A and B are shown apart, each in its own frame.
Chain A
Amino acid sequence: MTRRTESARLSTEPVAVDHLGLIDYREAWELQRRIADERANDIGTDRLLLLEHPSVYTAGRRTDLADLPQDGTPVIDVDRGGKITWHGPGQLVGYPIVKLAEPVDVVDYVRRLEEALIAVCNGLGVEGGRVEGRSGVWLPASFVRPERKIAAIGVRVQRGVALHGFSLNCNPDLSAFDTIVPCGIRDAGVTSLSIELGREVGVDEVTAVVAETVVRALDGVLQVSAHDVARDARVTSGT
């Protein structure tokens, strides 16, 4: 089946990009829900919220008890897809809140977000890709390092509007992931642009290009293509 439009968005109005800086998770969640309600009622315009969160763990409904922090650290239960993850300084978080083109194609929407983040990583010299059965952007395993995730995606679609979104690890303190099983995947690691490139890559360095690239992907200017991470028998699967 072919789409009637190259865009994943129903609206032809430009996406409004909001740079919110450091903002509390619950405050951002409330803002998302308010905008999503407006978009469901054809009020306002599609928005891309770009921000950082103070350190926080968030858990989707499928999170297993064994994946949670074992030290009693608070966790916020959320209504996005996926399991548990961490957000914090040094990680660029993006919440595109868009009314999706009809008929809604969730997989296509997520693949566009992945495509944008893959393009950003590749542009910086980090060769990322997709892993079958998982969302987000991954780097291939080598003999010395496991498959590892550099960007996470967790989305909710309600009344035809997408909310929640993605996070890209720029230069966060990745030790925050040590107390959880990120995304419930035990056989993979987490990485950042700074680790992979061997230099400091801050959120400020990538924010503008992420904004531009995400909008280009959603509007169909940046086409989705195959970027499958090479896997071999040493790498087991997860979700």
Chain B
Amino acid sequence: MTDFDIPADLRYTEEHEWIRKVGPTTARIGITDYAQSQLGDVVYVKLPDIDDEVVGGDSFGEIESTKSVSDIFAPLTAKVVAVNENLDAEPEVVNSDPYGDGWLVDLEVADEKTLDAALRDTLDVEGYLAVIEG
């Protein structure tokens, strides 16, 4: 069994992002505890601007650690409605609190049916565990 924190109430992607439904048409996105541990100490996060459109499966930002730069992928096609600007000053929160204050962006889609359908296409805890445990 993994030592990483994988909350049961979230959805996950194979690219190690988590998704939390925070409104009927809105989802909050971040990277998982596993992802932050594999990246190392996060020193910079490049995020899109509010009102940007992101495309599911495409890169919409970057996370830089002391070791490398890695892409962040959009789990669904949507509009950016909020960005965690606190990460400009405190990028290390992505390491210390990946599911809380280390969130990245909020994405909004046209209607709840679209969001629910997109979430069904993502992974539950067991599915994500299978990804990280190989």
Contact = CB atoms under 8 A, between A and B. Distances in A.
Q: Are the chains A and B members of one assembly?
A: yes
Given A104-B38, A107-B67, 16 more contacts: A1-B132, A60-B69, A61-B64, A61-B69, A62-B44, A81-B64, A102-B134, A103-B132, A105-B38, A106-B38, A106-B68, A107-B38, A110-B40, A157-B70, A158-B70, A239-B66
A239 B67 CA distance: 10
Contacts of A1: 2-4, 132-133
A62 B65 contact: no
Contacts of B83: none
Interface string B103-131: 00000000000000000000000000001
Interface in A151-189: 153-159, 162
Given A1-B133, A62-B44, A81 B38 contact: no
> Which DSSP category, helix, strand, loop or mixed, fits chain A's interface?
loop
Interface in A80-110: 80-81, 102-110
Interface of B: 2-4, 16, 34, 38-41, 43-44, 46, 59, 62, 64-71, 131-134
Q: Which 5 A-B residue pairs are closest in the complex by CB-CB distance? A: A155-B68, A110-B67, A4-B134, A81-B68, A81-B69
Nearest to B38: A105
Interface string A134-160: 110000000000000000011111110
A77 interface: no
Contacts of A3: 134
A103 B67 contact: no
> Which DSSP category, helix, strand, loop or mixed, fits chain B's interface?
mixed
Interface string A94-134: 00000000111111111000000000000000000000011
Nearest to B3: A1
A79 interface: yes
Contact of A155 (B44, B67, B132): B67
A105 B131 CA distance: 13
B66 A103 contact: no
Contacts of A61: 44, 46, 62, 64, 69
Nearest to A158: B71
A135 B134 contact: no
Contacts of B3: 1
A158 B38 contact: no
A81 B132 contact: no
B70 A103 contact: no
Contacts of B67: 81, 106-107, 110, 135, 153, 155
27 contacts: A1-B132, A60-B64, A60-B69, A61-B46, A61-B64, A61-B69, A62-B64, A81-B65, A102-B134, A103-B16, A103-B134, A104-B38, A105-B38, A106-B67, A109-B68, A110-B67, A110-B68, A133-B41, A134-B66, A155-B67, A155-B68, A155-B69, A156-B70, A157-B69, A157-B71, A158-B71, A239-B66
